[in-house]
Amino acid sequence: MTDTPPPNDPTTHLVPARSFGRRRIAFNLLTVAAAFLGVGTSLLLQPDRWNRAAGYANLLASASTITWGSIYVAVALVMAAAVWRPTLRVVAVVAHTAGIALSLSWLIGFVVRYLTNDATTPLAVLAWGAFLAALIRSAIVLDDGYEPVALIHRRKAP
Amino acid sequence: MNTPPDEIATALPHRRHIVSLMTIALGHAAIGVALWLQPERWFNTPSYANLLSVASTEVWGSVYLAVSAVMLLAVWRRRNRFLVVTAHTAGIALVGSWLIAFFVRYLTDDGTTIVNVVSWATFLAILARSAIIIDDDLGTEQVPAGESNE
């Protein structure tokens, strides 16, 4: 760790610390991507479990487990690509947009199911709310990776 | 630049762990309230049978509300390291125990989905990340001397 000199030290100048945003995006995106990959794989490989659970009836009425599973896996892969290529802004924007749209649609489905079915708990609502919050937070800090978000001291070249 | 650099340096890590802790605290508060006010919903869902055989909905609801209160207190008094560490430890212990129970239930009951396992693993990841960055300061983010940052 470099010692931080006093703010008015003439031998130093301030430079932007550019790594904050990218690392934060990577954590949030990777976490949600892993979760989406788990959900997608389960939808594709274990459709009977999903068809038996009461909480997903609304969502599985609008599309099959194969369709939803494919969507989840595709979105997870786009998110992973965005983490892998952090400088490609278009991939990051597409990953966040797709993730937010998918999370939001399922969140609405769970809220409707929770309000209309006494046998469901709010856990799915909370979980998808957390995914959505993580993605929105990641989208907000997206440009922090490309713009200066903090200034750090650095020794001036002699 | 009006804000002293040292102030910027200490503000960023605190803001990061507060967002994570607030998110989990609000989630825990909602689960605690639901466990207290809607116990029949929890009894009707097979996924929670293991957990509800260990303790009643009132007990689990109280635990969730207590942990949520400690987390909110840690957000409010974010400079109090003891409180922040206690909040993270309690949160990780609670989320970890429920995650293990959901995993066991998922492996032993064909009527459950992987959603709860994935959700609690996400909560655990967020809490673990929050705990890791508590002690972050700007020094760890500094560019090594001689390396270009432009």
User: For B92-108, how does the pLDDT look when each residue is reduced to its tens digit (9 = 90+)?
Assistant: 999 999 999 999 999 99
Report pLDDT for A22: 56
Give the end-to-end CA distance of chain B in Å, rounded to a whole number.
19
CB of A132 closer than 8 Å to CB of A103:
yes
What integer is the mean pLDDT of A50-65?
A: 88
Please tell me which of the candidates B31, B111, B122 has its beta carbon nearest to residue A52: B111
Q: Assign 3-state DSSP to chain B and report helix, strand, coil percentages, each to 5.
A: 80, 0, 20
User: pTM of the prediction?
Assistant: 0.76
Compare all CA atoms of chain A with the CA of B44 and give the residue at the minimum distance.
A119
Confidence of residue A38 (pLDDT cuts 50, 70, 90): very high
A112 and chain B in contact, CB less than 8 A:
no
Report pLDDT for A4: 52
Report pLDDT for B140: 43
**pLDDT beyond 60 at B121:** yes
What integer is the mean pLDDT of A65-87?
A: 92
Report pLDDT for B103: 92
What integer is the mean pLDDT of A133-138?
A: 88
Q: Note the pLDDT tens digit of each residue in B35-92.
A: 999 998 888 887 788 899 999 999 999 999 999 999 999 888 877 888 889 999 999 9
The whole-angstrom distance between residue A110's C-alpha and the CA centroid of its chain comes to 19
Compare all CA atoms of chain A with the CA of B40 and give the residue at the minimum distance.
A119
A35 and chain B in contact, CB less than 8 A:
yes
Q: Please tell me the distance in Å from B94's CA to the nearest CA on chain A.
A: 15
**pLDDT beyond 50 at A104:** yes
Interface of A with B in 72-111 (CB under 8 A): none
CB of A96 closer than 8 Å to CB of A75:
no
Q: Please tell me the distance in Å from A38's CA to the nearest CA on chain B.
A: 7
CB of B136 closer than 8 Å to CB of B18:
no
Report pLDDT for B143: 42
**pLDDT beyond 80 at A98:** yes
Confidence of residue A157 (pLDDT cuts 50, 70, 90): low
Residues counted in chain A: 158
Report pLDDT for A5: 52
B35: β partners: none
Report pLDDT for A109: 92
Transcribe B33-98 into DSSP letters: HHHHH-HHHHHH-GGGHHHHHHS-HHHHHHHHHHHHHHHHHHHHTTT-HHHHHHHHHHHHHHHHHH
Report pLDDT for A153: 54
Pure H helices in chain A: 19-45, 47-52, 57-62, 65-84, 89-116, 123-140
Compare all CA atoms of chain B with the CA of A127 and give the residue at the minimum distance.
B119
Q: Please tell me the distance in Å from B35's CA to the nearest CA on chain A.
A: 9
